[in-house]
Chain A
Amino acid sequence: MSYHWYRGHVYGNDFGTDAPAQDGQAPAHDEQAFAALLADEDRIEPRDDMPEAYRKSLIRQIAQHAHSEIIGMQPEGNWISRAPSLRRKAILMAKVQDEAGHGLYLYAAAETLGVDRADLVDQLHSGRQKYSSIFNYPTLTWADVGAIGWLVDGAAITNQVPLCRCSYGPYARAMVRVCKEESFHQRQGFEILHTLSHGTTGQKAMAQDAVNRYWWPSLMMFGPPDDDSPNSARSMAWGIKRFSNDELRQRFVDMTVPQSEALGLTLPDPDLRWNDERGHYDYGDIDFTELFEVIKGNGPCNAERMAHKRGAHEAGAWVREAADAYADKHARRTEGAA
């Protein structure tokens, strides 16, 4: 199978290939100076010279990451009104709010590279920029909120912890804040599932069903296998990526299997077992055709997610226009008075 058309859809990970990252190639001597700067400083700041390809790739990755945080509000937001206890309702509202906050930090980090948040959001709305495919799966039961916290936030942390040391300063610093909150989310998700799996028969079945549905899509969050990730080498050289897709996926599996045992839930993979020789868990083949279908737009909720996001944006247009008009009026009044 060919992955050449694979576009970034993994937040905080592989940012894929696309035309915009290729244009405006920096002259070779800049590349050399940049390589030296990277070797020397290990951290690039907005005022530093950087190759155009590096800048554009970072914009793409950070924007996609920001969009993922924002679209990710929807599947869990779906359960705010129905959370089964007031404590869980409060935790869930705070979690979804955190994701909006993550989006804000990340758009701000992208803006240090000379782009506008409004333009990035337009590109999301027009489908030119992507978000993580995991959010195109539905949250059918309350247990899905637990499974997303445990597995999806868990996978996000695995991807994002290394980004706290990525070469671009503003992105790395945003990741430090984000990762702290993501680890809360992961623990909260684990706690939801733990309560369910130690509850009634119906609750336990709900938890197992959610894990069955979210396990494979969570593994897909790390992107295609290394053999088919043409951009990874470049990202690694640029210090944006520190570990390969497969290394991160393995790290996630190794972390998650013992946690599933603590939960008393099984993971839906008959090939999952400890390999003494490798010192890792082996796992079965991932069906990437499903991932590509979701990326193409054929996932269970792609249309709903975009309709919700665009719908909210359009419904709020009159409010944003009013705020601008008010600001203009009052700026004029202040000038008039001066």
Chain B
Amino acid sequence: MTDRPLLDYTLGLADDALVSAQRMGWWISRAPELEEDVALANIGLDQLGQARTLLTYAGELEQEGRTEDDLAYLRDDREFRNVKLVERPMTDFGVAMARLLLFSTYQLHLYRALSASSDATLSGIAAKAVKEVTYHVDHATHWVLRLGDGTAGSHARMQVALDAEWPYVDELFTPLDPTLTRLVADPSALRDPVLTDVRRVVAEATLAMPEVAPALGGGRQGLHTEHLGHLLAEMQHLHRSHPGATW
């Protein structure tokens, strides 16, 4: 029988990584310098790789024979389980780096905890991802420091970006389904360690911690922003235009 809470949990991690990779892919050929095109492609590729193994595992948990592509391309937005942090537009470099700092710091703590899970598949995926995400945190930190403590203009721009991301941070720490507590990492236990790390970078970047209320609605329950529908329309249209085709 399908373990629905575990399936939803796995889909949540998978969709976070997939949607984030989709936003990251936009930057390739649009970065502020050539080295950054390479770096952002690397990060996007890491996230996409995480999404693929997690979606494949979700398909196994579901026991309906769905592949990574079935899950990525044939679900509608209400069925996606990603947090809203990753789905909103990301065409400003300050926004991209603020979000990457928040998201990758969260992922780092989550994957670290998950690598000790008694679910062997998830712990294996998490252990590999820890190495990748460690680099993402370093990269985001590098830029948040430079943009925060760079020029007066970049400082102001970085603060605006951080403030705009902040309402979507709270959702990262959505409590775990009670049936899973002994099996996998509980996001609600990550609030302190994640915010401690973020606070340190924000302070060193001479920025202020935002004081804004969390946005309502929950991506983990399929209650998304309006942006996800557009993202999926673009991502899925070709696959859906040729039902049953292989690529």
Write the residues of chain A forming the contact surface with B, with a CB cutoff of 8 angstroms: 70, 73-74, 77, 80-90, 93-94, 96-97, 100-101, 103-104, 107, 142, 192, 195-196, 199-200, 202-203, 308, 312, 315-326, 329
Contacts and interface: CB of A to CB of B under 8 A. Distances in A.
Contact of A316 (B33, B68, B149, B150): B33
Interface stretch (B102-110, B193-201, B235-243): B235-243
Nearest to B244: A200
9 contacts: A81-B22, A86-B48, A86-B55, A97-B38, A104-B34, A104-B38, A312-B29, A312-B32, A321-B154
Interface in B32-70: 32-38, 41-42, 44-45, 48-49, 51-52, 55, 68-69
Contact of A100 (B28, B45, B151, B247): B28
Nearest to B149: A326
- Chain B CB within 10 Å, residue with most, of A81, A89, A321, A324: A89
A187 to B, nearest CB: 16
Task: State the majority secondary structure of interface residues on B.
Answer: helix
B75 interface: no
Contacts of B150: 321-326
Contacts of B31: 312, 316
B93 interface: yes
B52 A90 contact: yes
A97 B151 contact: no
Given A84-B247, A318-B154, A326-B145, A97 B238 contact: no
A200 B35 CA distance: 40
Contacts of A326: 145-146, 149-150
B246 A199 contact: yes
A70 B143 CA distance: 23
Contact of A84 (B42, B153, B238): B238
Nearest to B241: A202
Nearest to B157: A318
B247 A329 contact: no
Contact of B242 (A83, A202, A315, A318): A202
